[in-house]
Structure 1
């Protein structure tokens, strides 16, 4: 069984579905967490989807494997009725004079700061995917271009001592490896199942077995 904890603000559901469909590693247990790296360090999970940078990985990096998957765009949270929502992207100049409730990527602080924005007070700067997941109906979010938030990225991290085929297959799926890759332990199929799958790809109807003819073959005259 593979146990994975993923940081709030990510939506890895499609990877979970592909892992279950394409591999035969057994159960995949997943946990949404504000701090999946702590769960990995404490050996409560075998794989973690984390937000970088994280000083703990800089200090203990030798003990872990890490694969960076993608960068996150910075965003800004605004009260729904703010005139700034008329803009598709904001800069530091656009928000001059606004109260900045928080700027950063710490999930608990972003959640707390968004409550203030929802009360129609000030703005908040954080990774836009994180704002999107945590936002309420009273909040709008836009791209933010300028200082105030450090660049962030999402990565898969696991302990070197725990490296195994299941982890490698999940990492491959997250990186976009296709179902035809030899790295993935796909369930074995019978010859009949392979034939049916091939016919479905070609849009053909499954071949029906021919009924035996009565009286057998006719002899030559």
Structure 2
């Protein structure tokens, strides 16, 4: 699909925890005539939104689980455990799954991790969302393992979090429908990958500037007049056959001779 087939604006989806403001700012600087619309979407619904045309591209959590979607991994998030401020683990800098063995660990339905074996004790029910799970942690019902961006997103004054050393990690990627790789999608891929506006793949390169003529060096200008007669000898150098004075030590032919010595 070419750029002419695309919508008059660029629609960018993003899942909770992702902050796309940096890339949005660059887009507005490079393409001020193409509005960018942000679409917030839950992680589980992001792949379907892209395939249904609800957005041209989106920041999603891997894996997307759909072969029709292309994805460029961008970064891996730190995993943390959200706990009350008065929890015993608040005194530690890092925690492990073993440290949570006696705690109820909440697993919301939108849990971004693909756990092989969840740590801690299971809760009687799974919360609907991560936000609901955070509220339960604040109520003292359990703890929650999430990507650090979600812990910051749902921050509360009565809660804190600590890095978890042996938990799964969440990866963020830029994704879009493979069959709908429009010129605008390519433009946004270039922004995310850090291409400059003058990149060979860009659509608005800076026109080439005319070359400036080099001026001759000062020494070259002085050397150009080296063959001209000097003001001190306008007729030429010594001994040039044009009446110039001899500068040698021998006297001319008309010089007076001294008296002969007596014998």
Normalising by structure 2, what TM-score?
Answer: 0.63
Classify the secondary structure of the residue corresponding to 1:76.
strand
CA separation in 2, counterparts of 1:84 and 1:41? 43
Q: Tell me if 1:84 matches 2:94.
A: no
- Rounded to whole Å, the distance in 2 between the matches of 1:24 and 1:115 is 41
Pairing of 1:35-46 with structure 2 (within 5 A): 35-46=45-56
- In structure 2, what is the Cα distance between the partners aligned to 1:108 and 1:7? 16
Q: Tell me, yes or no, if the aligned pair for 2:199 and 2:205 is still in contact at 8 Å.
A: no
Structure 2 counterpart of 1:126: 146
Tell me, yes or no, if structure 1 residue 146 matches structure 2 residue 153: no
Kindly indicate whether the alpha-carbon contact (under 8 Å) linking 2:198 and 2:205 is maintained by their aligned counterparts in 1.
Answer: no
CA distance in 2 between counterparts of 1:15 and 1:2 reads: 13
Output one character per residue of 1:86-113: Cα deviation in whole Å (capped at 9) or x when no partner. Answer: 2221112322311112273179532221
List gaps (5 residues or longer) in structure 1: 192-221
Partner residue in 1 for 2:22: 14
Q: Which of the pair is proportionally richer in strand?
A: 1
Deviation, structure 1 residue 5:
0.6
Structure having the larger proportion of residues in helix: 1
Q: After superposition, where does 1:112-123 map in structure 2 within 5 Å? A: 112-123=132-143
Q: Secondary structure at the match of 2:194?
A: coil
Aligned length: 183
Q: Hey, which bits of structure 1, 4+ residues long, moved more than 6 A?
A: none
3-state SS of paired residue (2:107): strand
- Matched residues in 2 for 1:70 and 1:123: separation? 25
3-state DSSP of counterpart to 2:100: coil
CA offsets 1:10-48 (integer angstroms, 9 cap, x no match): 111111001111235611111122132221122111111
Unaligned runs of 5+ in 2: 1-8, 114-126, 210-263
Displacement after TM superposition at 1:4 (Å): 0.8
| Separation in 2, partners of 1:101, 1:159 | 33
Q: Does 2:130 match 1:110?
A: yes
| RMSD of aligned alpha carbons | 2.4
Residue 166 of structure 1 corresponds to 184
Query: Quick one: distance in 2 between partners of 1:50 and 1:25?
Result: 26
* 1:146-184 CA-partner distances (Å, limit 9, x unpaired): 24xx33211111112221221112112112223442333
Equivalent residue number for residue 70 of structure 2: 65
Matched, 1:185 2:203: yes
Higher RCO (C-alpha 8 Å, min separation 6)? 1
Please tell me whether the aligned partners of residues 67 and 157 of structure 1 are also in contact (alpha carbons under 8 angstroms): yes
In the superposition, the TM-score normalised over structure 1's length comes to 0.73
Q: CA separation of 1:124/1:74 partners in 2, compared to 1, >3 Å: closer, same or farther?
A: same
